[in-house]
Amino acid sequence: MHELSLLENVRSILEDHARDQNFQRVEEVTLAIGALSCVETEALAFAFEAVMKGSLAENAQLNFKHIEAQGHCLGCGQLTVMEMLYDACEHCGHPHVDVVTGLEMKITELKVS
Amino acid sequence: MCGICGCSNPSNTGKFSAIDGAKVSLLTTHNHGHEQHSHADNQRLIQVEQDLLSKNDAYAAENRAYFKANKIFALNLVSSPGAGKTTLLVETIKVLKDQFPIAVIEGDQQTEHDADRIRATGVPALQINTGRACHLDAHGIGHAMQTLGVKANSFLAIENVGNLVCPSSFDLGEAHKVVVLSVTEGDDKPLKYPDMFYAADVMIINKIDLLPYVDFDVERCIAFARRVNPTIQILQLSATKGDNFSAWTDWLIENMS
Ligand SMILES: Nc1nc2c(ncn2[C@@H]2O[C@H](COP(=O)(O)OP(=O)(O)OP(=O)(O)O)[C@@H](O)[C@H]2O)c(=O)[nH]1
Ligand SMILES: [Mg+2]
Ligand SMILES: [Zn+2]
Ligand SMILES: [Zn+2]
């Protein structure tokens, strides 16, 4: 359940921003999660309410933006879509692909008041 | 050490919400009286772009700078429960403890058992009980180093919680993640838990003394690991019987300098 630690981090980031940008409440939080990131959006959604309780984001709405995973093929040099870390290149079948996008887990947007 | 949080709590790790108590109270005294207003009218959107691991990564960077400044070679050992991390460390200490100072940070959800096993070798060890958390984090490591008083020009082994999933995301500031896989676990572990094998620089295939008794295809396992991580270094050994153990201690000595 590292989702709990990640959400505690989210809460702490929200508090930093509240101080710097002068807001009191967070109404919505949008997270961008890559297809290869090692986090379950369902587990995040499940724990979100509990972790935000008593904070400035209590009862905030949680949104997800999914980021497709793409890699750079070490065989043919093209970009290829990945569903797993060890997917082979969709163009040439080369087994080794360097991940370019899809490992992200980040906060991208807040609706605050 | 704890320049970022400035906290004096020696072990925040594992406590669910210890980190932000000070910040919360700051917020509630700020803009007093304003809470009664309705805020629906002044909603706004803020673009953030901040990694969910950013706090941990900041602590990890702080640890890494400390390791570098003090020439401490730190390894983060990860595996499923029972793959042989503590045994590997105990045997490593027996071979190397006269060559340079060694210290160990042990992570387990509960008990002091593994730290006791390390201390029996005469080397300092600190146990972190992570409680409900299933991994060590960089903040806890920073505090543990302080408590342990890790010496300069030394080897610091960090044994993570036995878990092939969560510890892969949490950088502790180590030079390398070393994943230990024992032959009783099945040769397809690298594909089942790719994140960890992707994050590791070294894979140790342990308990090779048991190969005659189990269906474990070493070549298949290596092929799977390289499919996930083409540059991973692979060592095969038995921590209890000592087979090929010097390949590991040689690797350590070579990479320390
Ligand atoms: N046969 C054999 N047994 C081993 C070897 N290495 C470790 N073991 C045994 O495996 C069991 C677990 O070893 P530990 O060193 O406690 O494993 P660990 O990874 O530290 O376990 P956790 O900290 O609980 O995750 C013990 O009974 C060890 O004696 C080996 O090379 N061969
Ligand atoms: Mg152990
Ligand atoms: Zn290709
Ligand atoms: Zn601290």
Q: Which residue's entry shows tokens 């008990």?
A: B111
Nearest CA in chain B to A7: B52
> Looking at the 3D structure of chain B, how many domains does it have?
1
The model's pLDDT over B36-68, given as tens digits with 9 standing for 90+, comes to 444 456 899 999 999 999 999 999 999 999 999
Q: Is residue B89 part of a domain?
A: yes
- Residue B85 CA to ligand 2 center (angstroms) comes to 5
Q: Is residue B236 part of a domain?
A: yes
The model's pLDDT over A16-54, given as tens digits with 9 standing for 90+, comes to 999 999 999 999 999 999 999 988 899 999 999 999 999
The model's pLDDT over B200-255, given as tens digits with 9 standing for 90+, comes to 999 999 999 999 999 999 999 999 999 999 999 999 999 999 999 999 999 999 99
User: CA-to-CA distance for B73 and B79, rounded, in angstroms?
Assistant: 20
Q: Is residue B91 part of a domain?
A: yes
Q: Is residue B118 part of a domain?
A: yes
Q: What residue's CA is closest to ligand 1, atom 25?
A: B81
Distances (CA, A) of B221 to A25, B131, B218, B227, B239: 51, 32, 5, 10, 19
- Residue contact A109–B46, C-beta within 8 A: yes
> Looking at the 3D structure of chain A, how many domains does it have?
1
Task: Give the pLDDT band of residue B140 (cuts 50, 70, 90).
Answer: very high
What radius of gyration do chain A's Cα atoms show? 17
Q: What is the CATH number of the domain that holds B251?
A: 3.40.50.300
A20 contact B CB<8A: no
Q: Is residue B245 part of a domain?
A: yes
Model ipTM value: 0.87
- Residue contact A15–B16, C-beta within 8 A: no
Using a CB-CB distance cutoff of 8 angstroms, which residues of chain B are in contact with residue A15? 20, 23-24, 27
- pLDDT of residue B7 exceeding 60: no
Kindly report the nearest CA distance between residue B45 and chain A, in angstroms.
4
Q: Is residue B158 part of a domain?
A: yes
Selecting from B40, B53, B134 the residue whose C-beta is nearest the C-beta of A1 gives B134
User: CA-to-CA distance for B154 and B237, rounded, in angstroms?
Assistant: 24
- Residue contact B30–A11, C-beta within 8 A: no
Nearest CA in chain B to A2: B166
User: CA-to-CA distance for A31 and A106, rounded, in angstroms?
Assistant: 6
Q: Is residue B35 part of a domain?
A: no
User: CA-to-CA distance for A106 and B229, rounded, in angstroms?
Assistant: 24
The model's pLDDT over A50-65, given as tens digits with 9 standing for 90+, comes to 999 999 999 999 999 9
A29 contact B CB<8A: no
Q: The domain containing residue A101 runs over which residues?
A: 2-112
Kindly report the nearest CA distance between residue B32 and chain A, in angstroms.
11
User: CA-to-CA distance for A47 and A39, rounded, in angstroms?
Assistant: 12
Classified as helix, coil or strand, B49 is strand
Task: Give the pLDDT band of residue A1 (cuts 50, 70, 90).
Answer: low
CB proximity list for B37: less than 8 A, separation 6 or greater: none
Ligand approaching nearest to the C-alpha of B12: 4
Q: The domain containing residue B156 runs over which residues?
A: 10-26+42-256
What is the token pair recorded at B82? 């029972």
Q: Is residue B68 part of a domain?
A: yes
Query: How many Cα atoms within 13 Å fall on the side-chain side of residue B176?
Result: 18
